[in-house]
Structure 1
Amino acid sequence: MSAARKTNVLPGFNLTLGYTLGYLSLIVLIPLAAIFLKTTEMTFDRFWEVVTAPRVVASYKLSFGAALLAAAINTVFGFLLAWSLVRYRFPGKKLVDALVDLPFALPTAVAGIALSTVYSPKGWMGALLAPLGIKIAYTPVGVLVALIFIGLPFVVRTVQPILEDLETELEEAAASLGAQRWVTFRTVIFPLVLPALLTGFALAFARAVGEYGSVIFIAGNIPLVSEITPLMIITKLEQYDYAGATAIAVVMLLASFSLLFIVNGLQAWSTRRIGRNA
């Protein structure tokens, strides 16, 4: 045991821990602490007035509601897409697999312009939907579409490796014992991929809730209708109201951390449950 410690490739624990904490502090902890400290310049009454203003509250509902719904939709369809890429062979499979990563590589402003062009009333999709009375661009639905677009790869790339490592013998054994397809999926496949699905959901939500570039063009930015919370922060900064901007940012941070904490707790619970049943 002592020989294994001496031949460890990584440097000593103290050096590694010190470097990790220093790097984490510079990149994450200090900026977050600065946000909270800046907010303390305001009185509580002023803080409450800023974070509960009607336009800001409406932006909370849109940003968090659309982010949660987009992450849920991406969890379902991201799983189906990952399953198709892993389990089936079809023409253009490599192209589809490459297109999944397009939102990663595409600048967010370009994605926003492209989506608003396609779904505007005169765009390719918007012109087809307009006679049906369906309007996507410059509405909350457009925000949802943009968040689905940028969040899908997080679910696919999180679930895909798990499905690739999943042994088909488990499904065959369940089928040989007379289990129907739905029973096999519910009792064999779903418990194994649930932690990855929750991770993909959390990543997609975290990306969506703070997204700005791809949303701002298609949202329309109509007060009390299609304004997102990051836009409220930018507006405060443009008005040189830095304390007000950090106040809204603090609310976003606390709400996001709470939701991610719940998701991580569910992920840990599902992992322990799989370990007990294994």
Structure 2
Amino acid sequence: MAVAELGSFSRAAQRLNLTQTALSHRIRKIEADLGTRLLVRTSRDVSLTIAGQDLLPQVREQMDALAELYGAVHDSGRESRRRLVFACLPTVSIFHLPELIRDFSNANQGLEVVLLDQPAGRIVKLVQEGQAEFGITITGANPWDLEIEHLCTEPYVLLVSKHHRLAGRKSVARSDLLGGRLVRIRTQSINRQIIEDSLGSLSKQLDWRFEVQNVTTAMSLVDHGASVTVLPQLTKRLVPNEFVGLPFSDVDLSRNIVALQRSMIFIHHYFAGDAAH
């Protein structure tokens, strides 16, 4: 393209920061690979052969497309540097993050903060797929491709209506759940596993009468006296005057809040494999 546009090997070599010898060698190699001449060079000028005339517009079209693609990726890279995307559990994001996000935003003017408040299992996938820079969630099985840092431990409580028979108690034992109706949240599989493991064999004896999709529906059932539920302590703060959160006296029922990000080992293998392909 450079030789055809400038009509000169010397000017083309200068634009490409090559010696004329190196440029001539590359042209000859291309012609040898294609099995046909592309350029005819005389003492006065350089002209395209018929094959060269046919090839040039196609090459130019491909180069224009490559330049457009490069520019789009470049713009996307610049845009991503102006955005911080992370994922977090809804309960944690509601109560712990507003002030932190405000202070962080004030200290980083012009940076857009995107918070993906998602269930625990979804957070892991968002970080693994690179859609989130990091995630704040609860521990389950530790994926090999993620680095995990413990942030805090949060207890679970038995959430009851303020009119419930247990509301005046300071704490409850697991056996206090027998005979009552409970509601659990279908989408919170890791929370459910933690609760069921902590309750042990008693969990199978309990009357899990209701199963719902989200926390607010479960709390509504509790508020109307239809059931009780076991939820993280933070949840009670959604409506502090309507519910009583009772800690468990006979079991350490809690969850570990962690920060996770893709490990450098995983990133190294990913890019090494990509380069090999």
Q: Taking structure 2 as the reference length, what is the TM-score of the superposition?
A: 0.19
Between structures 1 and 2, the one with greater helix share: 1
TM-score relative to the length of structure 1: 0.19
The structure in which a higher percent of residues are strand is 2
If asked which structure has higher relative contact order (CA below 8 Å, sep 6+), I would say 1
